[in-house]
């Protein structure tokens, strides 16, 4: 990437991050302890409307601690949406458990409730009841919340809700991150708001939040010396990162508006181009933060123009774009793990493209993107 490259999704600071950081440096709370953490957690809880938030150093560590809190151990099986970023699935391996991958349905691109139930029944018939379900709101579009919850409850299996990409999204008016038995967010640099690196757990009770923070800060027992009776982790968010997060929360609504405007830009651009669809929520119950706007390009309808034609044209013009997440069951790392479903996610991967969607993009950026796309079509 050169400095002229239009990025997919870049950090976008507001007015007050600098002020919060400067105050934090002056106070010398330059550690994984300090007043910004509780403030950041309180404000995120208020935004979500329910749940107890524990701020951590990444979304990946939040998923790992979430699995630990759900009791996932070596030898267990965990059901996981196959179409996702590898960080959804890697923590299953950290625990020595086995991931069982599930296909998507075509409406939300997320966990297919039918394939999920098939998998549960087959795993139970084979003698193992899965320990947890990892469901993802891909690109900000909520999964089929009610249908997935029904299946999970029928078998008594808890849901770990990966809302890493879905801060600000909602289903039937309720915010994503609050539907799982445990929810997680990421504040990595490419997400809708960032703390540089960071994440959070959303828990159902204050007691569980306390337990999560205990594990995340090396599981120190109550003693004057360092005493440990359980395995601990260094997973807490730093007070400096929380300072950035305080500033970013203040501009979240504006960032959501700008991401949505990028989505509208692509909808307008492609409305008269056959064979290209801009991924949009399937129904009025769903509200997406449109973290990334994504396209499906069907060469049989575009006169032979493929995803790769478009991707290469954009990349040649220094415009960042990328195929959709490659499903986990097609990854070399996971190729021997069980998989349930058909070819929905594999097809999406073949024809899908993530477009530059950041809230910091300018009119000049949009003109450049438009020019290249109109050249291709
Ligand atoms: C970004 C992301 C994560 C991981 O978050 P980090 O903060 O980068 O560790 C997990 N799941 C999904 C779906 C993501 O997009």
Provide the number of structural domains found in the chain: 2
Cβ(136) to ligand 1 under 6 A? yes
Range of the domain at 342: 253-376
Q: Is 260 in the same domain as 120?
A: no
Q: Is 144 in the same domain as 266?
A: no
- Say if 331 falls within a structural domain: yes
Cβ(165) to ligand 1 under 6 A? yes
CA of 23 to the centre of ligand 1 (A): 29
DSSP letter assigned to residue 130: -
Closest-CA residue, ligand 1 atom 5, reads 59
Q: Over the stretch 42-88, which tens digit does the pLDDT of each residue have?
A: 999 999 999 999 999 999 999 999 999 999 999 999 999 999 999 99
Counting from 1 in the atom list of ligand 1, the atom nearest the Cα of 84 is: 13
Q: Is 180 in the same domain as 136?
A: yes
Cβ(60) to ligand 1 under 6 A? yes
Cβ(199) to ligand 1 under 6 A? yes
Q: Tell me, rounded to whole angstroms, the distance of Cα 86 from its chain centroid.
A: 11
Please count the other Cβ atoms lying within 10 Å of the Cβ belonging to residue 156: 7
Residue 171 has pLDDT above 70, yes or no: yes
CA of 59 to the centre of ligand 1 (A): 5
- Say if 352 falls within a structural domain: yes
pLDDT bracket for residue 14 (50, 70, 90): very high
d(CA 369, CA 200): 34
d(CA 296, CA 227): 55
CA of 235 to the centre of ligand 1 (A): 15
Q: Is 197 in the same domain as 315?
A: no
- Domain end point (choices 223, 251, 279): 251
**CB 78 within 8 Å of CB 99:** yes
Q: Is 156 in the same domain as 235?
A: yes
Residue with the two structure tokens 């078998």: 155
Closest-CA residue, ligand 1 atom 6, reads 59
Q: Which residues contact 249 (CB under 8 A, 6 or more apart)?
A: 40, 43, 44, 47, 193
- Domain end point (choices 219, 251, 283): 251
Q: Is 229 in the same domain as 319?
A: no
- Say if 181 falls within a structural domain: yes
d(CA 189, CA 196): 5
- Say if 5 falls within a structural domain: no
State the burial class of residue 232 (Cβ atoms within 10 Å of its Cβ: 0-12, 13-18, 19+): middle
pLDDT bracket for residue 274 (50, 70, 90): very high
- Say if 265 falls within a structural domain: yes
Q: Is 50 in the same domain as 188?
A: yes
Please state whether the predicted TM-score (pTM) of the whole model is above 0.85: yes
CA of 308 to the centre of ligand 1 (A): 25
**CB 173 within 8 Å of CB 21:** no
Q: How far is CA 25 from CA 36, 83, 213, 245, in A?
A: 12, 41, 23, 15
3 state SS of 135: strand
Q: Specify the CATH number for the domain of residue 170.
A: 3.40.640.10
CA of 320 to the centre of ligand 1 (A): 19
Q: Is 54 in the same domain as 65?
A: yes
Q: Is 112 in the same domain as 257?
A: no
pLDDT bracket for residue 2 (50, 70, 90): low
Cβ(58) to ligand 1 under 6 A? yes
- Domain end point (choices 251, 278, 297): 251
pLDDT of the residue at 32: 84
- Say if 182 falls within a structural domain: yes
Q: Is 258 in the same domain as 244?
A: no
Q: Is 226 in the same domain as 179?
A: yes
Q: Is 182 in the same domain as 324?
A: no
- Nearest Cα to Cα of residue 196 among 20, 324, 6, 50: 20
Cβ(76) to ligand 1 under 6 A? no
- Say if 9 falls within a structural domain: no
Residue 24 has pLDDT above 90, yes or no: yes
Q: How far is CA 273 from CA 131, 328, 366, in A?
A: 45, 31, 18
**CB 9 within 8 Å of CB 292:** yes
């Amino acid at each position: 990437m050169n400095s002229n490259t239009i990025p997919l999704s870049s950090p976008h600071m507001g007015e007050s991050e600098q002020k919060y950081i400067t105050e934090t440096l002056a106070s010398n709370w330059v550690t994984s302890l300090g007043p910004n953490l509780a403030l950041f957690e309180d404000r995120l809880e208020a935004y979500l409307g329910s749940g107890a938030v524990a701020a951590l150093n990444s979304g990946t560590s939040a998923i790992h601690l979430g699995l630990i809190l759900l009791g996932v151990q070596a030898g267990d099986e965990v059901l996981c949406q196959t179409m996702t970023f590898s960080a959804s699935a890697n923590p299953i391996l950290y625990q020595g458990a086995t991931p069982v991958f599930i296909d998507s349905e075509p409406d939300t691109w997320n966990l297919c409730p039918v394939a999920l139930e098939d998998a549960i029944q087959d795993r139970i018939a084979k003698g193992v009841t899965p320990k947890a379900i990892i469901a993802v709101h891909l690109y900000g579009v909520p999964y089929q919340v009610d249908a997935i919850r029904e299946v999970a409850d029928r078998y008594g299996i808890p849901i770990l809700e990966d809302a890493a990409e879905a801060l600000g999204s909602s289903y039937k008016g309720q915010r994503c991150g609050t539907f799982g038995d445990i929810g997680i967010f990421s504040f990595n640099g490419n997400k809708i708001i960032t703390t540089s690196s960071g994440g959070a757990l959303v828990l159902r009770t204050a007691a569980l939040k306390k337990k999560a923070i205990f594990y995340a800060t090396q599981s120190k027992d109550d003693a004057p010396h360092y005493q440990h009776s359980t395995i601990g982790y260094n997973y807490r968010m730093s007070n400096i990162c929380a300072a950035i997060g305080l500033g970013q929360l203040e501009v979240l609504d504006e960032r959501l508006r700008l991401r949505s405007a990028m989505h509208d830009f692509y909808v307008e651009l492609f409305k008269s181009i056959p064979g290209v669809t801009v991924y949009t929520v399937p129904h009025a119950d769903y509200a997406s933060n449109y973290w990334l706007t994504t396209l499906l390009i069907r060469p049989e309808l575009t006169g032979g123009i493929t995803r790769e034609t478009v991707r290469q044209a954009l990349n040649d013009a220094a415009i960042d774009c990328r195929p959709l997440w490659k499903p986990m069951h097609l990854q070399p790392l996971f190729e021997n793990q069980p998989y349930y479903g058909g070819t929905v996610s594999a097809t999406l991967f073949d024809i899908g493209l993530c477009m530059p969607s950041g809230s910091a993009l300018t009119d000049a950026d949009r003109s450049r993107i438009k020019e290249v796309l109109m050249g291709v079509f």
